[in-house]
Copies of this chain bind each other. A is one copy, B any other.
């Protein structure tokens, strides 16, 4: 008997039908549905859906909800996907923060922990922080870390996401080759996937944000990078190194030799990333604001600018003008349908984005749809969760 035929039969059909019913249930609002909804969504017969639900119930993937129908006749049984059956974690790790979020299989957040690494943190110490944050978050969620079904990790640098390797991380010189993925796999015994943080922020925009089919996503935080979506697919470049907006050099005068690219911040990051904004604000603003900015959070700057402070507004406008210069360069090359700005700085809100938009206008041949991400600073971790949920699917279907 040919191999391809060996697996057919009633058993396989039952699995296929169960997977179809489960898929329809998970696509439904709040992941509950009536049998009749599932008949409609799957095109299966009512008896087939009922049999599939029995299979899913035996596997504890689905449960029936108590019916409260007061109508005469057969009560409309509602079924529910048991999203609490398993959990996944998303990790956002960089030299400035470690964020871990644990969700159920529906992506509903159960726990989140954040650690702020010390300055000049080593790669090994960062791995420890990730393990501690994961352990703490798991405790908050009431699970053992070893019960996680999958973990997704977002990190700066050029990542070979297929091999699970950090190829190059200019911002974190000793990060390349740090065995984060191996450590996590050994500890947790579940799939651990890694990708570039900005690529994951793009995944998050497509999952929970405002992505379009031809999208430029710009991460604007401690670092600057961008993710590109072309015809609905992430574009990574020939060496997984596309979108490195942070390294373009608009600062070195054209006939002077720019510094060799290497470790540390890129030229555009030195102009407008969070650290540059903070330094400019500390330089230009009065003591009151300087004190509020002392812990590194930029929110007070944007609040004062919005409230009309001339010094704060001058910082915002200088930064917006510089950022528009770099963004215009990338837009002239890619001609995207939409530009979404995410990352910590994008939380500044309308004051900053409006100023960027105004400066951008005179720099482009064709107008562009520019907006701030609605995901605030959670884009990377959300994308990591989405990646982990995709990995968890395999385990879920093995249950059927």
User: Could you list which residues of chain A lie within 8 angstroms of chain B, going by C-beta atoms?
Assistant: 158, 168, 170, 214, 226, 230, 235-245, 247-251, 253-255, 257-261, 271, 318, 321-322, 325, 328-330, 332-337, 362-366
Q: Decide: A238 and B336 in contact? CB cutoff 8 A.
A: yes
Q: Decide: B363 and A249 in contact? CB cutoff 8 A.
A: yes
Q: Decide: B255 and A322 in contact? CB cutoff 8 A.
A: yes
How far is it, in angstroms, between the C-alpha of A161 and the C-alpha of B336 when the chains are bound?
Answer: 18
- A to B CB contacts below 8 Å, 24 in the list: A158-B365, A158-B366, A168-B366, A230-B230, A230-B235, A236-B335, A237-B335, A239-B335, A241-B335, A242-B335, A247-B365, A249-B328, A249-B329, A250-B254, A254-B271, A254-B322, A255-B318, A255-B321, A257-B362, A258-B363, A261-B362, A261-B365, A329-B333, A333-B333
| Chain B residues near A322 (CB-CB < 8 A) | 254-255
How far is it, in angstroms, between the C-alpha of A299 and the C-alpha of B318 when the chains are bound?
Answer: 43
Q: Decide: A244 and B321 in contact? CB cutoff 8 A.
A: no
| Chain B residues near A158 (CB-CB < 8 A) | 365-366
Q: Can you name the residue of chain B whose Cβ is closest to the Cβ of A215?
A: B238
With contact pairs A321-B257, A329-B329 given, residues A214 and B238 touching in the complex (Cβ less than 8 Å): yes
Q: Can you name the residue of chain B whose Cβ is closest to the Cβ of A272?
A: B254
How far is it, in angstroms, between the C-alpha of A335 and the C-alpha of B334 when the chains are bound?
Answer: 12
Q: Can you name the residue of chain B whose Cβ is closest to the Cβ of A236?
A: B335
| Chain B residues near A257 (CB-CB < 8 A) | 321, 362
Most-contacted residue by chain B among A158, A238, A242 (CB, 10 A): A238
Minimum Cβ distance to chain B for residue A314 (Å): 11
How far is it, in angstroms, between the C-alpha of A158 and the C-alpha of B365 when the chains are bound?
Answer: 10
Q: Decide: A254 and B251 in contact? CB cutoff 8 A.
A: yes
Having A168-B365, A230-B235, A237-B334, one finds 19 other A-B pairs with CB under 8 Å, namely A158-B365, A214-B237, A230-B230, A238-B335, A238-B336, A240-B335, A241-B332, A241-B366, A244-B332, A244-B333, A245-B333, A248-B328, A248-B333, A250-B250, A250-B254, A257-B321, A257-B362, A261-B364, A333-B334
| Chain B residues near A362 (CB-CB < 8 A) | 257-261
How far is it, in angstroms, between the C-alpha of A252 and the C-alpha of B365 when the chains are bound?
Answer: 17
| Chain B residues near A259 (CB-CB < 8 A) | 362
Minimum Cβ distance to chain B for residue A63 (Å): 44
How far is it, in angstroms, between the C-alpha of A81 and the C-alpha of B363 when the chains are bound?
Answer: 52
How far is it, in angstroms, between the C-alpha of A289 and the C-alpha of B253 when the chains are bound?
Answer: 29
